[in-house]
Amino acid sequence: MSDTAFSWKKIFIPAYGPSILFGIGNGAILPVIALSAIDLGASLAVSGLIVALIGFGSLVSNIPAALIISRYGERLSLTGASALSVLALILCLFATHAAILALGVLIIGIATSVFYLARQTYLIDAVPAYMRARALATLGGTQRIGMFIGPFAAAGLMHFMGLAGAYWVAIVALIAAGIVSFSIPELEARPAVGTDVAPRPKMLATALNHRHAFLTLGAGILLVAAMRASRQIAIPLWADNIGLSATTTAVIFGLVSAIDMLVFYPAGKVMDQYGRLWIALPCTLVLGTALLIIPLTHQIPGFVLACLLMGFGNGIGSGIVMTLGADASPVAGRTEFLGIWRLIADIGNSAGPFCLSGMTALVSLGAGIATTGAFGFVAAAIFWHYLPHVHPGNKNNSNTA
């Protein structure tokens, strides 16, 4: 993308509109999936597993998603993912058995993987390299905004329709996301059938050729993802441990989300102007420190402050996973590379809560939370060693890792 051709105004709706709408859809249903499963006769344990199928669906479909996007392009992939999500939501809405609900939730996870990978690759190509971090941080921020709006929109309709209201909010939001996605232009023409073009790298070749990036920066990203996933569990579990009510915990979650959403754009600007390390280090160190502090809190003021610190650390890291992946990715085979990159991050998302739960079972809840906090310091050491320490130098520097 040439600098002179770039305009935030032209790109904002096609780039970020679908992400906000998709986030609203996911945010609307996440709080009610477990309740729907219980209504269909599932136990508490099975209900939790059904909710986890969104993450599992995303995890197992990252590589296929990359192949789909590489073949059909971002526009059709985004539209198809939105349509698939709508069909899955209808399946969930009219499910008569928990197994049918589980299938719908799994499909939503698969569609989510395709959607977010296509959105990332679209932005990387659409935005000049010197504005990449701001663009991807804003993408992360718009996803957060959508996830924040979704539960409130669902609650309004659920007042009249019950749990079905949440699914209808999601269906409308995702239909809108599909319409907006279909209207965006492809950034580059697809070669006609029979045209001689250089073959795209195979997935295995991409993994082998870029194994250094996956084994170094990828390890840091895995740890960041593990911390982020663990904090979603650490907050309610420790709140219950110190005797806070569910209402108080929900308010704390809301405050953390608000802090999270306020800082994403300034953080992206810092990354573009001074380098990725200037955000990667504070993000990991602040998140890790906050998780280490939480087990030391026994009263609500200290707990709230630790949670707000966690929200700030997570917020300044908005887009860091996508930005580092974009910087490290090759031009040829970028989609395949990013599919593997997302797979690594999703492994962290899945492993973090398991690590916290395992340490809690073996030692204590405080030890489990502190262990995930230690991940932040390991990730910081990785980023310190492998990310450039120098100023980008000029606006055209991509700060490639």
Whether residues 250 and 152 fall in one domain: no
Position 194 scores a pLDDT of 45
* Cβ proximity of 201 and 336 under 8 Å: yes
CA distances to 19, 133, 239, 336, 369 from 246, rounded to whole Å, are: 30, 36, 8, 42, 20
Please check the confidence at residue 193 and state whether its pLDDT lies above 70: no
* Domain-terminating residue out of 154, 186, 218: 186
Position 358 scores a pLDDT of 86
Position 225 scores a pLDDT of 94
Non-local (6+) Cβ contacts of 398 within 8 A are 129, 130, 132, 327
* Cβ proximity of 353 and 365 under 8 Å: no
Residues belonging to the chain:
401
* Cβ proximity of 268 and 137 under 8 Å: yes
Whether residues 296 and 155 fall in one domain: no
Query: Which DSSP symbol is given to 200?
Result: P
Residue 88's pLDDT band (cuts 50, 70, 90):
very high
Whether residues 180 and 207 fall in one domain: no
d(CA 329, CA 123): 14
* Domain-terminating residue out of 186, 215, 236: 186
Query: Is 396 within the bounds of a domain?
Result: no
Position 316 scores a pLDDT of 93
Q: How many domains does the structure of the chain reveal? A: 2
Per-residue pLDDT tens for 134-180?
Answer: 889 888 888 889 988 888 888 888 888 888 999 999 999 999 999 99
Position 190 scores a pLDDT of 46
Query: Is 195 within the bounds of a domain?
Result: no
Phi-psi region of 391 (alpha: psi -120 to 50; beta: other; left: phi over 0): beta
CA distances to 47, 101, 130, 248, 305 from 105, rounded to whole Å, are: 11, 6, 38, 29, 35
Per-residue pLDDT tens for 295-353?
Answer: 999 999 999 999 999 999 999 998 899 999 999 988 888 889 999 999 999 999 888 88
Average pLDDT of the chain is 87
pTM of the model: 0.84
Domain range for 162 is: 16-186
Position 188 scores a pLDDT of 55
Query: Which DSSP symbol is given to 333?
Result: T
Work out the angle at residue 334's Cα, subtended by the Cα atoms of residues 377 and 175, and round it to the nearest 5 degrees.
95
d(CA 134, CA 126): 13
d(CA 84, CA 204): 28
* Domain-terminating residue out of 130, 156, 186: 186
Whether residues 182 and 211 fall in one domain: no
Residue 187's pLDDT band (cuts 50, 70, 90):
low
Position 13 scores a pLDDT of 82
Read off the CATH number of the domain in which 320 is found: 1.20.1250.20
Please check the confidence at residue 69 and state whether its pLDDT lies above 50: yes
